[in-house]
Amino acid sequence: MINKAFSFCLTLALLFISVLANAQQQNTESGPVNEFFRSNDKIYVIVGVLVIIFLGIVLFLINLDRKIGKLEKRDKNNP
């Protein structure tokens, strides 16, 4: 279980590092939508909401995996 959790955390860390490295590139796209979000600093709100949603899904899946693991152990012990 610890190896799975460590592997999962390491994968997430590497994913975020790659996203951060890619985020350093300058965006040359210009359009009314991009200019609006950047001018009002709303892009940070959008990124924050997406991060919160992603973390919620990840936490839900971790919790679900733990519950399923407990049910499998209980089922093995009671034939």
4-33 pLDDT, tens digit each: 777 787 788 777 777 666 655 555 566 776
C-beta of residue 34 within 8 angstroms of C-beta of residue 27: yes
Using the CB atoms, write b or e for 2-11: b if 16+ within 10 Å. eeeeeeeeee
CA–CA gap between residue 23 and residue 30 (Å, rounded):
17
Q: Is the pLDDT of residue 57 over 60?
A: yes
Domain ranges of the chain: 1-76
Share of the chain above pLDDT 90, in %: 32
Which pLDDT score is estimated for 58? 92
Which pLDDT score is estimated for 71? 92
Q: Quote the tokens at residue 23.
A: 């985020």
Confidence band for 62, pLDDT divided at 50, 70 and 90: very high
Q: Quote the tokens at residue 55.
A: 């973390």
